[in-house]
Structures are given as C-alpha cells and as structure tokens.
Amino acid sequence: MSDTPKVVNRGPRWWRLRSTDEDDRRQREVEHLINSASSWIGEAMNAWSDDDYGKVAVLAPLAVEHLGKAVLWSANPVLVVPLSQEAEANLVKLAIAPSLDDSKLRTVGLKLLLSRVEALIGPLPLDKSRRNRMVEVRNGAMHVASSEASRHVLTDALILCNHFIEQLDLKSEEFYRSHRESVTGLVAQGRSETEHRVAQKRAAARRILTQLEERLGEALFLETTDRWQEEVAYALEDEDGRALYWACPECSSQGLIRGHLDVFRTVDPDVSLDLDSPGEWEILLSPTSFSCNVCRLALTGADELAAGGLPSREIPLWAKELGPNFDPAREAERLYG
C-alpha cells in the first residue's frame, strides 16, 4: 500500500454527505459506477463457480474498469476522457457539467485507466505483466481456455478491486455481498491449484443453497434440506467401500466421508476378548472422497479432502462406530480371505 494520500478520506459513504446539486449528482454517479462494478464482479464469481472460463475473463476486468472509473470520477470527471482531438468536446463538457448519462461520452480503456489511477493514488498492487494480461483478455487479444488462466485473471481483478475499495472507503462485504468469503480465499497468497479448485467447489455449493433458500423460503428450505440429510443414512455401505458421517465443511450438514476399510487383528485369536475391546482389532478407514447431500459439495482424493479441512489420512475407528451389525472378524475374512 502506498503512502500516497487516498483520493478521499471522509469516512464510509462520504459521497452522500455533500449538499450542492452538482456534488450530489457526482455522488450518485460514483455510486452508480460502484454498483455496476459490484454487479459485474458478482457475475464473474458466479461464472467462476460454474466453470464458465470465458465469462470470468471478460466480466472480472469489466468490474475493475468500472470501479477504477469510480476512483477517477470521484477525484475529477475529466480524468476519464482520453487525450485525443475527438475528445476535446467531452473534456470541456465534463469540466463544466459532468454526467455519465451523456450518450456521446467516450472514456478511457482499461490500460490507460490503470495508468491514470496509478498516477492519481500511487502504485497499484499488480506488476505490469499481470496488468497487461488483464488488458489483453479484456480487449479479446488473449483467449482464456483453462481454469488456471481464468483464475489468474479473476484473482488479479480482485486484488485491484480490493485496492480501489480501500481508496473509496467502501466496505468489502457490501461490495462483494455473498461472495466475500470466496474472494478472501481466492486472493490468499500461496494457495495451491487444489486449494483453489476446492474453493471453487465450495463457492458453487454455497450458491446452490443460497438460490434454493431464495426460491423456497426459509420454512420450506429447512424442511427440504432436513429431508435430504435424512436420506444420507441409506448410503453407508456399497461395493466401493464404507462411509462415515461427517459434518460438511461448507453447510455443516451431515455428509459422508467414503473410503476403503482395513481391519487387522492385533492379538492372538485364541485370546477371548470382546470384539469391541481396545487392542483386539485395528480398524482404519482410508478416506477417498466426501459428499454432502444438501449443498452437493463433492471432494475427491486426499489433496481435495485436506484442502477442504477434512481427514485425508487413515481414520482409526471402533467397531461400534460402523453400526451394530458390523463384525470385524467377518469383515477381515471378506477382505483378506
């Protein structure tokens, strides 16, 4: 963060506090740009959770462009006009009576906008190569055809948006709304590809629940999700292995961790001990996947389980945890003959 003073420093929602008609109009226009940027970044986050890479690459830079223009417009509307002979009339008009509603208004593109914002508020938190990548994507000069490239563009856009949010004294939770948690995860440094993939899956699961509750209303939503959770009980064992109840890391509903079961006798079989006695049987579940029947979160493999905060290594169990009908001796015979 640069030591350069912010564009404004008048507390949250400062643009609503002025009194003149001209200033009130400019405040509304700044808010219009902010709301537009918020909508575009929301659409970009939705596209990201849906694996729609093309939309992410277009919408995220668009959010940066609108929020950057809010920074420039709040300082002085003439800063959004390109320096060309054709823009002369726009320059004069904006200096006298600035208005975003002018259909003839032509403003700077993303590349020049970022340069002007940097000149106004100080260094931006992205180097030139990453900024150029975003500009090329925004202008259609670079095709984004992979989740990795799409994520890089989205992450860079969020870094810039966070910087502009701070300059405008906005609250990030109001700007990002329901995507705030996902944004925080995406911007976090040092995340692996697996961690980003899991963050994407969790965002999609969260969106499913949010849309369902909006559509059904609270009472019917709770009734429906409770019923889905009850259905989990019918899926504890199948030909691919065993499953344990485990709280979903996204919605806290009762989900299932599936895996392969290993059963080992640890004492002489001639010694008479109760089957549930400690030390007679070692029972281990090696997790391979997790699924939630409510938010539909599905994680596969040890790496994704670990990234989701779930057990990824062998889980020691008691025989009674696998149900009243579980017999470790019979299970050992079935597994190993």
Residues in the chain: 337
Spatial contact of 260 and 289, defined as CB atoms under 8 Å apart: no
pLDDT at residue number 18: 45
Q: Strand 241-247 and strand 237-238: pairing?
A: antiparallel
214: amino acid identity, one letter: E
Q: Where are the alpha helices (DSSP H) in the chain?
A: 21-49, 53-75, 88-96, 110-121, 128-138, 147-167, 172-176, 180-187, 193-216, 218-230, 301-307, 328-336
Calculate the dihedral angle through the C-alpha atoms of 151, 152, 153, 155, rounding to the nearest 10 degrees. 80
- Cα–Cα distance measured from residue 134 to residue 149, given in angstroms and rounded to the nearest whole number: 10
pLDDT at residue number 54: 84
202: amino acid identity, one letter: R
Q: What is the mean pLDDT of the chain?
A: 81
pLDDT at residue number 29: 92
- Cα–Cα distance measured from residue 115 to residue 131, given in angstroms and rounded to the nearest whole number: 10
> pLDDT for 205-214, tens place per residue?
999 999 999 9
* Cβ within 8 Å of residue 12, ≥6 positions away: 169, 170, 171
pLDDT at residue number 275: 47
Q: Is pTM, for the whole model, over 0.75?
A: no
Three-state secondary structure call for residue 283: strand
Across the 337 residues of the chain, what is the mean pLDDT of every consecutive 10-residue run? 48 47 83 95 92 88 95 90 76 76 80 91 85 82 63 90 94 93 80 81 91 91 88 60 87 90 71 51 88 92 89 85 80 76
Distances (CA, A) of 82 to 63, 131, 204, 271, 322: 19, 19, 40, 88, 70
Calculate the dihedral angle through the C-alpha atoms of 38, 44, 45, 49, rounding to the nearest 10 degrees. 160
Nearest to 184 by CA among 168, 209, 165, 169: 165
Contacts 24+ apart (CB under 8 A), 181-189: 181/206, 182/45, 182/49, 182/206, 183/45, 183/158, 186/151, 186/154, 186/155, 186/158, 187/155, 187/158, 187/159, 187/162
Q: Which residue has the tokens 């409770």?
A: 226
> pLDDT for 251-272, tens place per residue?
999 898 988 888 887 765 555 5
pLDDT at residue number 5: 46
Spatial contact of 37 and 170, defined as CB atoms under 8 Å apart: no
pLDDT at residue number 320: 79
- Cα–Cα distance measured from residue 229 to residue 138, given in angstroms and rounded to the nearest whole number: 43
Nearest to 155 by CA among 193, 123, 121, 117: 193
pLDDT at residue number 45: 93
Q: How buried is residue 316: exposed, middle or buried, by Cβ count under 10 Å (0-12/13-18/19+)? A: exposed
CA 308 distance to own-chain centroid: 13
